[in-house]
Every structure is written in C-alpha cells, then in structure tokens.
C-alpha cells in the first residue's frame, strides 16, 4: 500500500475516533446537564406516594419553556428523598427541578 493511502487511512481513523468520543456523554457532561436544569417554585396541592404523583401549583419552569400553572408530576423510584416526600403535605412550598423524559415530565430534585 502506498504511503499516501496509509496516511489517509490513519487520518480517517483518527477523525472517526474523535467523533465517537465527542458524542459519548461523560459523567462530567451528565453532571453539567443536571446543573443546567432551572429551579422552579411550587406549592403542593395534592400528593399520592403510592402512585408517585404530586399536583403542584408552580411558577415558570424555564428549562421546559412552561408558564405557571397547576399540574400533576410524577417521579421515578429512588429519584427523590423518601423522607422529604413523606413529610410533604398540601400547602407546603418547595423548589423543584423537572425534566422531560420519554414524553413525560418527571420531578428530578426537590428542596423544601
């Protein structure tokens, strides 16, 4: 094989490897994505721990481009502190982060 062909193959292989690495999310990148989520203000209207549903009257959720409204949120098992969830009752004010996952809006963080 000619030297020019070997160089070209080497350059293409290197560029392909860099492209693959750039598209693979790292732990640092995932942390940065979570940090990009906006905190929103909300008030608990209803909570059903068994069904993992919480109705919140909330302010703007910037990362979802959502205006203030009242709506039902869900969460995944283990995503939120159980002690905080069990202490919540209607009327409690909190801060939260939410994200869109598979067409559903999930709560991913809570602060009293």
**Burial bucket for residue 53 (CB in 10 Å: 0-12, 13-18, 19+):** middle
Summarised one tens digit per residue, pLDDT across range 5-62 is: 555 465 455 554 454 444 444 434 334 455 578 999 999 999 999 999 999 999 999 9
Instruction: Identify the pLDDT of residue 6.
Output: 58
| Tokens matching residue 16 | 């392909």
- What pLDDT score was predicted for residue 10? 56
Residues 6+ apart with CB under 8 A from 110: 80, 81, 84, 85, 94, 95, 96
Predicted confidence band at 96 (pLDDT cuts at 50, 70, 90)? very high
pTM of the model: 0.68
Residue-range domains of the chain with CATH: 3-33 (no CATH), 37-111 (2.40.50.320)
Return d(Cα 80, Cα 94) in angstroms, integer: 13
Cβ-count burial 79-90 (b if 16+ within 10 Å, e if not): ebeeeebeebee
Q: How far are the Cα atoms of 17, 38, 67, 81, 108 from residue 78, in angstroms, in the given order?
A: 36, 21, 28, 7, 10
């Amino acid at each position: 094989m000619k030297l020019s062909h070997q160089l070209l193959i080497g350059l293409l292989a290197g560029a392909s490897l860099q492209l693959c690495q750039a598209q693979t999310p790292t732990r640092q990148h995932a942390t940065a994505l979570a940090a990009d989520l906006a905190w929103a203000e909300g008030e608990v209207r209803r909570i059903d721990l068994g069904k993992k549903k919480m109705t919140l009257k909330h302010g703007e959720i910037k990362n979802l481009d959502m205006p203030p409204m009242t709506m039902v949120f869900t969460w995944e098992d283990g995503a939120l502190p159980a002690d905080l969830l069990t202490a919540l009752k209607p009327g409690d004010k909190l801060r939260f982060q939410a994200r869109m996952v598979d067409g559903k809006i999930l709560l991913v963080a809570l602060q009293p």
